[in-house]
Amino acid sequence: MRPLEGIRILDLSRVFAGPWATQMLGDLGAEVIKVERPGGVGDEMRAYGPPFLRDREGKDTNESPQYLAANRNKKSITIDFSNPKGRDIILDLAKGSDVLVENYKVGDLARFELDYDSVSALCPNLIYLSLSGFGQTGPRATSPALDGLMQAFSGIMSVTGEPDGMPQRVGTIVNDFSAGMYAVVGILAALRHRDTHGGGGQFIDLSLMEASIALVSPMTMVHLATDSLPERTGNVSYGSAPAQTFECADGYMSVQAGSDDQFRRLCGALDVEELLQNPLLKTRPLRFTHRDKFIPMLEKIFLEKPAAHWIDILNRAGVMNSKVNNVREALEDEQVRHRGTVLEVDHPLSGSLKIIRNPLRFSETPLDDYTAPPYSGQHTREVLRDILSLKEEEIDELIASGAV
Closest CA to 114 of 138, 358, 104, 327: 104
Set out the domains of the chain in order of their start, with CATH numbers: 8-216+338-401 (3.40.50.10540), 243-325 (3.30.1540.10)
Q: DSSP secondary structure string, 44-78?
A: GGGG--SS--B-TTS-B-S--HHHHHT--S-EEEE
Active-site residue (options: 55, 176, 195, 205): 176
Q: In what order do the strands lie in the sheet with 202-207?
A: 75-78, 31-36, 8-11, 99-102, 127-132, 202-207
How far apart (Å, rounded) are the C-alpha atoms in residues 351 and 176?
29
Do residues 77 and 403 lie in contact, with contact meaning Cβ atoms separated by under 8 Å?
no
Closest CA to 230 of 219, 216, 218, 217: 219
- Give the pLDDT score at 269: 98
Query: What is the DSSP secondary structure assignment for residue 372, as one 8-state letter?
Result: P
Give the β-pairing of 75-78 and 31-36. parallel
What does each C-alpha distance from 80 to 37, 120, 399 come to in angstroms? Answer: 6, 21, 10
How far apart (Å, rounded) are the C-alpha atoms in residues 133 and 101?
14
Query: What is the DSSP secondary structure assignment for residue 90, as one 8-state letter?
Result: H
Closest CA to 177 of 151, 141, 140: 151
Closest CA to 131 of 185, 191, 91: 185
> Across the chain, how many H-helices and E-strands are there?
16, 11
Q: In what order do the strands lie in the sheet with 243-248?
A: 243-248, 251-256, 320-323
How far apart (Å, rounded) are the C-alpha atoms in residues 336 and 240?
28
- Give the pLDDT score at 297: 98
Do residues 70 and 45 lie in contact, with contact meaning Cβ atoms separated by under 8 Å?
yes
- Give the pLDDT score at 198: 87
CA atoms within 13 A on the CB side of 20: 19
Instruction: Identify whether 43 is a catalytic site residue.
Output: no
Q: Which residues pair with 198 in a beta bridge?
A: none
- Give the pLDDT score at 308: 97
Closest CA to 100 of 108, 91, 111, 89: 91
Per-residue tens of pLDDT for the chain, all 404 residues:
999 999 999 999 999 999 999 999 999 999 999 999 998 889 999 999 999 999 999 999 999 999 999 999 999 999 999 999 999 999 999 999 999 999 999 999 999 999 999 999 999 999 999 999 999 999 999 999 999 999 999 999 999 999 999 999 999 999 999 999 999 999 999 999 999 998 899 999 999 999 999 999 999 999 999 999 999 999 999 899 999 999 999 999 999 999 999 999 999 999 999 999 999 999 999 999 999 999 999 999 999 999 999 999 999 999 999 999 999 999 999 999 999 999 999 999 999 999 999 999 999 999 999 999 999 999 999 999 999 999 999 999 999 999 99
- Coil/strand/helix, residue 403: coil
Separation of first and last alpha carbons in the chain = 32
How far apart (Å, rounded) are the C-alpha atoms in residues 204 and 127?
8
How far apart (Å, rounded) are the C-alpha atoms in residues 262 and 318?
8
